[in-house]
Amino acid sequence: MNYEKFVNKTIQFISTGAKVETSQINSDTNLVGSGIVDSLLLTELILYVEDELECTIEVDDFRLATFETIDSIYSSYGQ
Amino acid sequence: MKQIDILLRASVQKKLNPLTDLPWNDAPSKDLFWMPEKLISIYGEPEYECLCDEKKLELSQLEFSLLCSVSSSGEKEVIANMATRMLKTKYRAFRRYFYHFIEEENNHIYMFTEFCERYGEYFPVLYPYVQGDIWDYTETGDLLTFAHVLIFEELGQGLNEVMAEDEAIPELVRAINDYHVQDEGRHISFGRSLVREFAGVTKSIVTKEEWSRLQRFVKEYISTRHNDYHNVKIYKTVGIKNALDLRSRLIEQRDESFFIKSPLAARRIKSLREFLIEIDMLSVEDDSVIQTEFKELQGVM
């Protein structure tokens, strides 16, 4: 999945899950730090990323920094 | 404190050892369900009805491994959180029981992961406590931790009880569940004492806003515990298409009523809610919605 499509789809996913307007989320928004993504939504976001990017995210060594922004998610798992 | 002494004596007298007390060499048959069908996360859904008998068996076996994984992962968090707090002066009266509590929870982790190693598969569970230090008072964080432990154990107990009594499932699986039920009964009594003791104290210290936030966390925690029992990887393994969509749909539709698999579990969850309302950790407004769903559910059981 290319970068543009991933960003748009992920903004939609987070917007629905967090019940916030899509305009509040950009590719460089700090997802957890801003309070938009809480621990529950983070779990769902990880499953969503695995499904969309067809990757496996190892729980054992999971680092929150890789999920700081949509950009950091894509650079960690989308390439 | 008398109750703590009673629980302490029971822990010592009824000391069990999963290494020696369980029939580990009695391998569970792959021709049997490892958990009753009604406990399978997609039972009753069209996706379940579409599976052949062989896949239904496989699903029950994978989901029992998942239950072991979720239990051991949750108990790891319980131990970590209890260990962090056990030497605080204010918990001195409870300290002697904490030692046994942690030992027993560690035994459970051994038991569940040993089963996965020998006969199943361990499914890593992410417990992303990412909020960090969000409370203005340490007492709120402590109390929420104790409440999490209590809720986690009370909800899970209902699943273990059903499996411990089902003679159609393999003996080792039954024994594991029975072992867990015995220890958790004491832990639940202890958890209620601990939460009751510190809820009043904490409420008198913290601001109204912080207490309201705590109530929201408790409500959310209860109503999302079922999420971990819906596993995309397992759904894909048994050939279900759109596994993520199925999981999302089911966890959205469901709440703690997912754990009501017997009249006993229904009574326990009702009692848990009443207890949390009594000590004001769950607001009455939140519970009125839950009670409506609960009555509907009781009607169909």
| Interface contact A28, partner B, CB < 8 A | no
A42 vs B130, B232, B244: nearest CB: B130
- How wide is the angle at C-alpha B221 spanned by C-alphas A68 and B194, nearest 5°? 120
Q: Which residues, in sequence order, are CB contacts of A21 under 8 Å at separation 6+?
A: A15
Output the DSSP codes for A9-75: HHHHHHHHHHT--GGG--TT--TTTTTSS-HHHHHHHHHHHHHHTT----STT--GGGGSSHHHHHH
Res B301: pLDDT = 47
Res B292: pLDDT = 52
The CA-to-CA distance between both ends of chain A, in Å, stands at 9
Q: CA of B237, closest CA in chain A: separation in Å?
A: 14
HSE (side-chain half, CA atoms, 13 Å) at B252: 10
Distance (Å) of CA B272 to CA B113, B152, B189, B215, B217: 28, 11, 11, 14, 16
The enclosing domain of A33 has a CATH number of 1.10.1200.10
Residues B261 and B162: beta-carbon distance below 8 Å: yes
Q: Tokens for B180, please give them.
A: 């867990």
Q: Give the number of domains in chain A.
A: 1
Place of tokens 């069990």: B16
| Interface contact A34, partner B, CB < 8 A | no
Res B291: pLDDT = 57
Low-confidence ranges of chain B (pLDDT < 50): 129-131, 299-301
- Predicted ipTM of the assembly: 0.81
Which residues of A fall within a CB distance of 8 Å from B130? 32, 38-39, 42, 64
Res B164: pLDDT = 94
pTM of the shown model: 0.88
Instruction: Provide the 10 A C-beta neighbour count for residue B5.
Output: 11
Instruction: Provide the 10 A C-beta neighbour count for residue A30.
Output: 12
Which residues of A fall within a CB distance of 8 Å from B246? none
Res B231: pLDDT = 95
| Interface contact A1, partner B, CB < 8 A | no
Give the domain range for residue A43: 3-77
Res B130: pLDDT = 46
* pLDDT tens, N- to C-terminus, chain A (79 residues): 899 999 999 999 999 999 999 999 999 999 988 889 988 899 899 999 999 999 998 887 788 889 999 999 999 999 7
Instruction: Provide the 10 A C-beta neighbour count for residue B3.
Output: 12
Residues A32 and B212: beta-carbon distance below 8 Å: no
Q: Pick the residue from chain A with its C-alpha nearest to B245.
A: A48
A38 vs B131, B232, B247: nearest CB: B131
Amino acid identity at A39? S
- What is the C-alpha radius of gyration for chain A, rounded to an integer number of angstroms? 11
Which residues of A fall within a CB distance of 8 Å from B232? 47, 50-51
Res A35: pLDDT = 85
pLDDT tens by residue, B197-254: 899 999 999 999 999 999 999 999 999 999 999 999 999 999 999 999 999 999 999 9
Residues B170 and B29: beta-carbon distance below 8 Å: yes
**CA-CA distance, B296 to B301, in Å (whole number)?**
9
Res B207: pLDDT = 96
